[in-house]
Amino acid sequence: MRLYAAAVFAFLYLPIAVIAVFSFNAGTHASQFTGFSVQWYGKALSNPFVMEALRTSFIVALSSALIASVFGTMAALALQGRVRVVADALFYIAVLIPGIVIGIATLIALVTLFGWINPLLALLGPEGQAPQLAMGYGSLIAAHALFSMSLVIIILRARLAGMDRSLMEASADLYAPPFATFRQVTLPLIFPGILAGFLLSFTFSFDDFIIAFFVAGSETTLPIYVFSSIRRGVTPEINAIGTMVLAVSLLLLVAAQIILRGGSRKGAS
């Protein structure tokens, strides 16, 4: 069993390690290591197309993570009783559905919605100057926010399940208004879960390729740029980009895990 486990981990992580090692290659071939150099990191960071794609990914990830955190928190607090059981099942299903299915479904839904709204906008606005809805920043943010909201809700539902309800009951017994109870008692207790959900949502959106590929329109995120570049061949610059994205993603995931553990210990004490 140990040998089997070691083989599985090697299969999963050795290719990632190879990408990281060859990102420091001094040569121009991605598969031939000729010496140590960090030149490809400099070239990647000075590439205007890479920086534009990075800016797009950052804006989309930040916006979708904020939306998912706010509305996910509201939904997690509002869902109670029998409705909560059904909703929890739907949220878990949303996480388990393959990304390509979500991407196609989101594309069809948005195209249908635009087909209904754009003729109305054409009637309301000046002829030839009426705004038209299309794929772009809005569709990217909406698609990522909807999916990430499920992650936030699942995290917060687990956080709420382990929270001491007596604190909120004591606040109500002391005649505190509901909003004051939420602001001074509930929010500090669930804030680690909100922050962890935000970080996970940001990581998912920043790294996502499948859903973004269907709904990006004319916009290019960093994963889409990498996919387009490797069709012309893998270079050490692509390895450098992949290594930097991997490092940022791991840092965010570790931070989210630390925040969740710290919040759980604080809530238990």
For 112-126, how does the pLDDT look when each residue is reduced to its tens digit (9 = 90+)? 988 888 888 877 766
Cα–Cα distance, 99 to 250 (Å, whole number): 21
Structural domains in the chain? 48-268 (1.10.3720.10)
User: Side-chain half-sphere of 245: how many Cα atoms within 13 Å?
Assistant: 28
Residue 26 neighbours by CB distance under 10 Å: 13
Query: Apex CA 189: angle with CA 185 and CA 194, to 5°?
Result: 125
Task: Assess contact for 181 and 174: CB atoms under 8 A.
Answer: no
The confidence score (pLDDT) of residue 183 equals 78
- Mark the ranges of the chain whose per-residue pLDDT is less than 50: none
Give residues with Cβ within 8 angstroms of 36, minimum separation 6: 24, 26
pLDDT in tens, 60-72: 999 999 999 999 9
Cα–Cα distance, 112 to 102 (Å, whole number): 15
Give residues with Cβ within 8 angstroms of 135, minimum separation 6: 110, 215, 216, 217, 218, 219
User: Side-chain half-sphere of 215: how many Cα atoms within 13 Å?
Assistant: 31
Q: Of 253, 234, 226, 243, nearest to 54 (Cα)?
A: 226
pTM over 0.75: yes
Give residues with Cβ within 8 angstroms of 114, minimum separation 6: 132, 133, 134
